[in-house]
Amino acid sequence: MKKLRGSLAAKITAIVLLCLLVLAFVASAVGAVALSELGAYSGGYESARQTMLDRLCRDRASRAAERVLERGDEPDSVYAHENFRFVLYDADGQLLYSNYDGSGFLAHVSRTYETYGQEDYIPIPVPTASAAVTPPPETQPVEETQPPESLTMIEETEAYIVYVTEDGTLLYEPNGTQSVRKTYRIEGYIPEELSVEDEIYHAMRLYTLGYSLRYVVYAVAAVSLLLGILLFIFLCSAAGHRDAGDTITPNFVDRIPFDLLTAAVACGVGVALALLLEAMSFNGAEIIAGAFLILAAGLLFLLWCMSLATRVKCGGVLRSCLCYRLLAWCGKWLGRGGRALAELLRSLPLIRKWAAILAAVWLGELFVISVCRLGLSTQAFFFWVLEHLLLTALAFYLILSFRRLRLGAKAIAAGDERCEVDTRGLVGELAEHANDLNHIRDGLSVAVAERMKSERLRTELITNVSHDIKTPLTSIVNYVDLLAREAPENEKSREYLEVLQRQSARMKKLIDDLIEASKASTGSLPVEKERCELGVLLDQTAGEYGEKLAAAGLELILQKPEAPVSVLADGRHMWRIFDNLLQNVVKYAQPGTRVYLSLERREDRALVTLRNISRGQLNVSGEELLERFVRGDSSRNTEGSGLGLSIARSLAQLQGGEMDLTVDGDLFKVTLRFPALP
């Protein structure tokens, strides 16, 4: 399928087949509708054929009467070379024209035709001796006469105008024209012998063929429609593909703005359909022309659909529209104007202050001019106003530039390394000051980079030294184990070996913690995240530390919801976090107290909280306890490296979580937050 989708030959073949299927569907659908309208399925062959002939005869009779009576065509030239004859009578039944010889006919129609004409009235002079003004009788024709030159209009109505001459004669002149209606009767005939291959002849042949296929056309329409839909889907799927891959390559049509392409295709389809309506007849040439028009409209629509499919695959239908680009351009400039207005509004306190100062200066100058009666001409006053408007614009420019510099300096002072003062539009000292602020930002960035480099070097130093110490320490631990296996008889020697074993193990644990803390803080530990159910992990932790907590005189209270709470984390690192926290509890919690370990879900966050009472007084803050080598036991009499809490926080951050530590008197509280999974 991929090869066919990218093959040009396959697309051309599909288009040709689709055109043939469209023609087959249109022809079969039109044939089925026409046969159904004629009654071929209910009335039979003869009845439907007679209905068609009657319609053709009626249509030609009306057109013949119109051409002869309205257009004034010669009757002999009307349908002279077609299988149609007609007889024309006037209203009195008098024969006006006939080309029918009285032979047999296939169809006959008799129709009445009326014409409406306009005829001018003729001015009729009517002498009168009475004062009454009455119109002339319409039944008495009077020859047209030229009225005297000297006329006086004495009355005008909708029907006539009355004039009077010097000798007192009244003349009636009709006001406008009158409408005349004439009635005719036309009889049309289609002869039995069709001697000319005209539209009637072709209609008869098409009807005979269509009637013989009256049930086949439904099957042809259904099959052609189904196959056409499948080919249309294939062409839309193949649109934009040039090879067997999944790459979409737009062509020159796809680069035309989509709204312009839509308008052009709509106009083309509209013109084709309009021409198709004009060309609808049973003439063979016009049928072929109609088929070409249908194909042209269909190909234009197919081109539009394939272009739409390509644009949808590329994801730029709206962006390719000219209207969208225009709206985006307008929106861009409106956004700029809105941002400028917003900046102006944010500067209102400063601008209002300077606006008040400038207004006071203006009013003061106007007061001095009016009091001292310094007469200014119109031209001088115009230049005075223009000068002050320019000065006001300059003042507002300086105010806005000063505000931009102030905001930039404020952001840099807050430690924003990404802040850069925009120097566009600034000139002179203002531009230099903006560049100085940007240089300060660059200096801060360099200082921060140096600090990060120093921190990284320190971490690497700790890691490397720890590795170097670990090698000889491993040898010491191994040889101490070998000496312990010898079981020396001297009591002092056994005591010395126990001290060496205990201290070497402690030192090995310290070095392992140092290495792990360095890796966790630098993010070099591998993290394999997977779905982790915190409730199950807390149950395992409680079971692991049950005996140790009981030995330390502590009671663990585990609280968790019934519904599972899952996070995306590394199970090994999560276990190490809980292990470090509970080790810290065993070492430093007050015996005889309770330790609360709870799990809850708040919206989209999973919260794990650990609370216990400290055995010793805590004189440091929670943030300090999270630093390296800081221990709650200030005397440092207990075992520990002060790295457990720091490692736990680094591991939590490494997995996308947070760890907070709060100290309230003797209350020690740790809170872990992780994004919860649905």
pLDDT at 599: 92
**Least confidently predicted of 91-95, 171-175, 176-180, 587-591:** 176-180
What 3-state class would DSSP assign to 126? Answer: strand
C-alpha 501/C-alpha 481 separation (Å) is: 7
pLDDT at 513: 65
Nearest to 670 by CA among 584, 587, 604: 584
Q: Residue 261's Cα: distance from chain center in Å?
A: 18
- Tokens representing residue 5 in the block: 């989708």
Helix extents (H) in 39-71: 45-65
Q: State the average pLDDT over residues 310-328.
A: 79
Report pLDDT digits (tens) over 242-296.
766 677 777 777 778 877 878 888 887 787 777 766 655 545 555 667 677 777 8
C-alpha 164/C-alpha 16 separation (Å) is: 83
Report pLDDT digits (tens) over 529-577.
889 999 888 999 888 888 889 999 999 999 998 888 899 988 888 888 8
248: which DSSP letter? Answer: B
- 636: pLDDT strictly greater than 50: no
Question: Which is more confidently placed, 542 or 429?
Answer: 542
Average pLDDT of the residues of the chain: 77
Q: State the average pLDDT over residues 401-429.
A: 77
- 342: pLDDT strictly greater than 70: no
- 352: pLDDT strictly greater than 80: no
Whether 68 contacts 99, CB under 8 Å: no
- 134: pLDDT strictly greater than 60: no
The DSSP secondary structure of 558-611, one letter per residue, reads EE--SS--EEEE-HHHHHHHHHHHHHHHHHHBPTT-EEEEEEEEETTEEEEEEE
pLDDT at 141: 43
- 353: pLDDT strictly greater than 80: no
